[in-house]
Chains A and B, each alone.
Chain A
Amino acid sequence: MPVLPTSQAFLEQSALLLQAYPETTRITTKYHYPTERRAEKHKRQRSQAKKPSETESTPSTPIAAFVLKTYNPSTGICLKYQTNKLQEVGRLVTGLGKLAAGADVASLGLSGAGPVDVEMVDVNEDGTQANVNANATATANAGAKSKGKKKGGKGKR
């Protein structure tokens, strides 16, 4: 059960899975508060009591989590993505809408290229981000070779 590093990767992989098995694949969204054991709760409350100045800025409640899961029961393939940032929810849910409408990988890639968080780029600097750059340059080169026939698409960004 792979947990994917970025929301973009999750949406792309899910699009592929949906393309392969459009009828049986389902996407589950879970919004949940982690269950806290008594000792953890006690610890959290004590640490907050220690710093009275920070009680206003830090929420007194535990932080919820947002988990996305794409599952195909016939093959047993399951893709997962987890976040706890509120700012990602809107983008992810609209992404799910595109998946529901049967969007392919290419259309997802284009739409997701716009607002990328600074934090996300930092996290994936070594792996995914490099791949994206490589792809972009590759398409740019291809476009130059074919005398600009491949305009639009990835070359635009």
Chain B
Amino acid sequence: MAAVVAVALSFPSMAPSPYELTVGIAIVNYAVLSTSWNFVGGFTGYISLGHGAFAGLGAYTTALLVTKADLPSFAALFVSAALVAVLAVPVGYAALRVRGASFVIVSIALVLIMLLVFQSWSSFTGGSRGLVVPRPFPGMLRSEHHEVFYFLFLALLAVALLTWWIIDRSRFGMGLKAIREDEDKAQSLGTPTYTYKLVVFVVSATFTALAGGLYGLWFGDLDPVFQFSILSGAYMVLMALLGGVRHLYGPLLGAVIVGYGLEYSKLEYGDTPLHLVFAGLLLGVVVMFMPDGVIPAATGLIARVFKTGETSIREVTAAELREERGQGGAEPAPGSPGQKREVKQ
């Protein structure tokens, strides 16, 4: 753990060229995005394919606040995150009224609608000509600029991970996980499922918008086709699922693997349609064969190889069972709850 942090912190000074540093920034950016996605996807099990819209909105609102309202760059970043959070409320309201399928449909629709709006409304957003974001630190050299943003992204990642960790251990997080396992039961046990889902959706949108806004300030040039691409939302899902949605570091691990692969193939092969094929195949393989991600798959494999892990079925002898049930008590009838075999999730 400490070693990973040390490597992450010293990466800018070790990176042989500014190019490696930009790859590092891109990967940390992916990690923030997929960790933000995981607030909804990991806790509640609702899979959003439209989180790209929140990142794009964060980037565009930040840029527009800087250029049109003359706000200082970082004030604009936080104002834009607050605006996106406000917008996420009605979106979540519509999306979370019903279960699963409609949520995914709304999330995809959100990206498509934003793409339409930002392309068509070119007098305000620049349309397909793009929108240039002024740099926050005008006097800085390019390499220093990269270095500063690398640490900013890293700080945002730390905050996102910490928030995830806190929610994970809270009563709120318990409620969210109950929704993931069985929403009907959670509701009947008194969990305010709808409010919980909405709150975590807004938290997730806010972090995504912060990451998007920071990206906008760093990259300095926005185009609706890339900002509101369904693909960027799909990458977040892929990274989180590949790493493991139930683990704090799952999305981070997925982002390092997929992000490195993306940047490497961009360098080696340029932009070809085969990117889509590989992303699609990888997503398909993850969904089919390891929907829980590499972390559980790897730990499961280690447990199987070294035979250290507990099995999922508790083995008890009849004698032990009798002892456990308390002597003298009447034997429960077959099929009653007492006979239920305990299965670990």
A associates with B: no
